[in-house]
């Protein structure tokens, strides 16, 4: 693991759009991962006012950000501003990640898939098992939808 990866002219920028954003541990988590994997990238938290969301989306394109994660209150309101959303995001009517593919912004909802990928990596058998999900917010609904896919 390199301790001090310098920012270069090739450093890719990623971020979080949230309001508020200052409490987020996402920058620590992502930057630690980039550092450990020696990836030339940085992740920042952007405290974006809801009225400035369209400008934030334009900034993704204009600045060439690799992508962003979304938190409340943006997961539904951003959908009409994107070029494409995945079938999973369409089903959930929610987006929590945006990938910038050469200016083409693709929204997805990946909380549920991440949850099940972790369970499987830990050796937890999920097929044909009953589940109880406490909470039905965006992440909870995404986990329920992914649970259906993993049965």
Cis status, amide bond into 141, omega within 30 of 0: no
99 among known catalytic residues: no
Q: Which of 30, 42, 75, 88 is catalytic?
A: 75
144, 112 in Cβ contact below 8 A?
yes
- Determine the 3-state secondary structure of 67 from DSSP: strand
Q: Sign of the C-alpha dihedral, residues 20, 78, 81, 149?
A: positive
Sheet hosting strand 104-108, strand order edge to edge: 41-47, 12-18, 67-70, 97-101, 104-108, 84-85
Q: Is 143 left (phi over 0), alpha (psi -120 to 50) or beta?
A: alpha
Rounded to whole angstroms, the Cα distance separating 25 from 38 reads: 20
Task: Find out whether 93 and 124 touch, Cβ atoms under 8 Å.
Answer: no
Which residues are designated catalytic? 75
């Amino acid at each position: 693991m390199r301790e001090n990866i310098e920012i270069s002219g090739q450093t890719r920028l990623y971020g979080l759009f949230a309001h508020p954003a200052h409490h987020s541990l996402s920058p620590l988590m992502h930057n630690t991962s980039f550092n450990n994997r020696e990836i030339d990238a940085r992740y920042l938290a952007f405290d974006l006012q809801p009225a400035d969301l369209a400008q934030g989306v334009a900034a993704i394109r204009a600045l060439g950000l690799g992508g962003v994660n979304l938190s409340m209150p943006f997961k539904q309101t951003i959908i009409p501003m994107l070029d494409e959303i995945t079938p999973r995001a369409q089903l959930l009517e929610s987006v929590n990640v945006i990938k910038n593919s050469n200016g083409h912004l693709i929204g997805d909802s990946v909380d549920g898939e991440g949850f099940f990928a972790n369970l499987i990596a830990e050796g937890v058998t999920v097929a044909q098992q009953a589940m109880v999900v406490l909470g039905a917010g965006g992440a909870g609904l995404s986990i329920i939808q992914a649970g259906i896919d993993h049965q």
